[in-house]
Structure 1
Amino acid sequence: MAPQNVEITVKKTERTDLPIPFGKANCTPGRLPDVQPATVVAHVRVGAEQEPRKVTFEIPHPDPLLTRLLHDECSEHLIKLAADIAFGPEWKRVGDAMHGTLVLTRRGEGAVTVHRIDGTTHYIAAPVTEGDPIAELDAAAPSIAAEIRLTPGRCDPHAFAEAKKAFLFPVRASVDRGEQRVVIVSPPKDVQDRLIHYALDVCGLPTS
């Protein structure tokens, strides 16, 4: 990432935590990259000094958090090179469940298989027809859709008040039946609003 001017004054304290953005992962086509050594470079002016001094902080290598973040982001990147995975626009209520589709659209080479869709803090997700795989986009096919169903996972009012990750659905997919990787799929805002209204109704909670 390019340098960012933060202009933070660190007083005489034993510890000060400064948030640092790490940017996007540098992913490689065809495989997961290895995490590389990383450093944080700061330009610091101490006391009455006129000119800042350059200070380099080395991050212990390999850092487990950076390794996990790189693996997660680049795993998703490899799937997205082959196909786009998204929720379809049409949803309908069937009993106490909402039925919709998970749509795979061709972007690159390889057969893309969706093995599983996991739920979130608020919704239980499952295919309408049980089986593995949920959907498989043949290497020559432009797109395919699989029917899925959502039901509320929690009905307490506190859950709806803290719905920060309610719509981040982990989808486990692979290219050419290789290693399964996780892609986070979120429905568009209008669908999210419909799903919240539906879940409140099923849970017997006020909808307005």
Structure 2
Amino acid sequence: MTVMPRFATGALALILLVGCAPPSPQSPAPLSASAYRSRDDDAVGGQFQVTLTGLSDIAVSVRSVMLDSPGFDTVDPTVREVALGRGTRIDVPTEFGAARCDVAPEPASVQVSTGSDTTVVVPLMSQNDTLNRIHAEECAAKDLADIVTVTMVPGPLPSGPAEPLPAVLTLDRRDGDEPLRLDEIRGSLLYALNSEAVPVTLASGNTSIDIPVTLTTASCEPHVVADAKKPFVFPAWIAVGDGVPVYTRIPVPVSVQRQLVEYQQRSCVR
């Protein structure tokens, strides 16, 4: 019978203990992150605000912020360079990608690129259930797009620079026969959108309805115009049958964008 030396037995026991030991806990992130949505986020579309708060006595250099959620496609990070010490905070507009409606959006986190060329993963808390609300709205909008399409066609430019630009908003039924009620429309950061005909209903048995609307310039301030990243996002809310209104966005193709830019340039020269 072979006898194992005592020192070898002790070494083997030590190896087994080390191998079974739990991993050392990771250091907590030097930042906290929470999500909320502002009215401006509704106007811009596709984004929400991430509030970053410093938790370390040593200032953390933030370079960019990106959402990491199972319920949304990944998009490019938002570049924001700032140093955050303990108790200091900043709101960072953060974009989200297309919703993945077969999975929940939480738990979620934000990937924060820091000045040390590293990425810190920070758990994302959600004020007023922000992320779940956005996810539910985006998925409802996908379902709505299978039922109705919305188009906006501007008319000819008005003769006077101070006059509104007339346009026609059209609802076209794609599926079903329930009443479709356009409850509300809103303008973008650069263009006000109004209609005395809204709210209006596309009744059962009808396939389309034309709604007269007007557009006016919301701002001629050079810095507002220059900083407007999404000037052509026009929110709308449509209810199917007795359902609650669903948030969607009025598509604005390139040809219509050009008309709106020309109208704004003429309006702001007066």
Shorter-chain TM-score: what band? Answer: 0.5 to 0.7
1:99 offset after TM fit, Å?
Answer: 0.9
Please tell me the residue identity of whatever aligns with 1:119. G
Whether 1:123 and 2:191 are equivalent positions in the alignment is yes
User: Which protein shows a greater Rg?
Assistant: 2
Higher strand share: 2
Residues 1-208 of structure 1 correspond to what in structure 2 (within 5 A)?
19-20=66-67, 22-23=72-73, 24-27=98-101, 35=104, 37-38=106-107, 64-88=129-153, 90-94=154-158, 95=160, 96-109=163-176, 110-127=178-195, 130-133=196-199, 135-204=200-269
Q: Residues of 1 paired with 2:124 and 2:193: CA distance?
A: 39
Identity in percent: 24
Change (3 A) 1:108 1:150: same
Q: Secondary structure at the match of 1:19?
A: strand
Structure 1 residue matching 2:157: 3-state secondary structure: strand
Task: State the 1:75 CA deviation.
Answer: 2.9
Question: 3-state DSSP class of the match of 2:255?
Answer: helix
Residue-pair matches, total: 170
Q: Deviations over 1:145-196 (max 9, x none)?
A: 1111000011111222122121100111111142112111131111111111
Cα-to-partner distance string for 1:109-142 (whole Å, 9 max, x where unaligned): 1221112211111111111xx1442x32223222
1:52-80, Cα deviation, whole Å (9 max, x unpaired): xxxxx987699934213212202322322
Q: Report if aligned partners of 1:92, 1:99 keep a CA contact under 8 Å in 2.
A: yes
Cα 1:146–1:78 shift into 2, 3 Å: same
Using the alignment, how far apart are the partners of 1:201 and 1:85 within structure 2? 27
Separation (CA, whole Å) in 2 of partners of 1:198 and 1:39: 42
Look up the equivalent residue of 1:124 and give its one-letter code.
A
1:154 maps to a residue whose letter is S
Structure 2 CA distance for aligned equivalents of residues 159 and 61 of structure 1: 29
Q: Look up the equivalent residue of 2:142 and give its one-letter code.
A: H
CA contact (8 A) 2:105 2:135 kept: no
- Unaligned 5+ segments in structure 1 are 1-12, 41-56
| TM-score of the superposed pair, with normalisation by structure 2 | 0.53
Taking only aligned residues, the RMSD between alpha carbons, in angstroms, comes to 3.2
Is the alpha carbon distance of 1:159 and 1:186 closer, same or farther for their aligned partners in structure 2, counting shifts above 3 Å?
Answer: farther
Give the corresponding residue for 2:9.
Answer: none
Inter-partner Cα distance in structure 2 for 1:25 and 1:139: 30
Q: Is the deviation greater in 57-66 or in 138-147?
A: 57-66
Q: What letter corresponds to residue 19 of structure 1 in structure 2?
A: M
Kindly state the Cα deviation for residue 19 of structure 1 after the two structures are TM-superposed.
Answer: 2.9
